Amino acid sequence: MDDQSTPAPIAGELVTETFEYDGGRQVTVYVPLDPPEAVVFAGDGQLISQWGGYLEAADVPPTMIVGAHRTDDSDEMVRIREYSPSFDEERFAAHESFFVEDVRQWVKSRFDIALPAERTAVCGVSASGELSLALGLRHPDIYGAVFSASPGGGYRPPAEMPSPLPRTYLVAGTLEPFFHENATRWADALRDGADVVMTERLGNHGDPFWAAEFPLMVAWAFGP
């Protein structure tokens, strides 16, 4: 996954906190200039928290981004085990508790913000795209929308979908067939019970189209 795309300049504030989870895991929050009307909780937060500038340049409601950083372990499977329930249920459950409970309660206390599900999304890219889908399906009472870019294929739609389902916006690149197939599979599986958008962009895995699509996701979920 490429973290080298240049983020747009940010006028809002970035706040970083270190949690005890996993020996010290950081969370970076983008705080918009105006009081937030929506909030996006994101995996791979070291990347997605930097996308506030793209929101500032777009006609979208003021939106806070809460980005939980990925593991520092160089073994990519450690990240995948945290983000996908298909590989290591115990590791996934520990990260789920950190993400859904600890981070959310800290945001409520630190920023005095606790928005309803219809103004809250969970977001991810690649492996954390799987995380956003898994958490959206497990916690539709918390995350009313899912933003998933180029999701990995370890976590696949369950044979029996839960109800209710969150609104879901998927995007994938035309030059990343494996991830495009995964996103399409999820879009097809969710359409029977959820409001679903599936878009494709010219690009490969990790290309800047992830950040370019982000304001469109926010506008779709939280716009007028």
Residue 7: which of 30, 34, 36 has the closest Cα?
A: 30
Amino acid (1-letter code) at residue 16: T
Q: Which two tokens stand for residue 187?
A: 């879009």
Residue 194: which of 156, 150, 164 has the closest Cα?
A: 164
Q: Which pLDDT score is estimated for 109?
A: 96
Please enumerate in sequence order all residues whose Cβ is within 8 A of that of 158, keeping only pairs 6 or more positions apart, or say none. 137
- 158 pLDDT higher than 60: yes
Using alpha carbons only, what angle is made at residue 82 by residues 78 and 86, rounded to the nearest 5 degrees?
Answer: 100
Reported as a single tens digit per residue, the pLDDT across 179-210 is 999 999 999 999 989 999 999 999 999 889 99
Reported as a single tens digit per residue, the pLDDT across 159-183 is 999 999 999 999 999 999 999 999 9
Neighbours of 124 (CB within 10 A): 31
Q: Which pLDDT score is estimated for 9?
A: 84
Residue 6: pLDDT band (50, 70, 90) is low
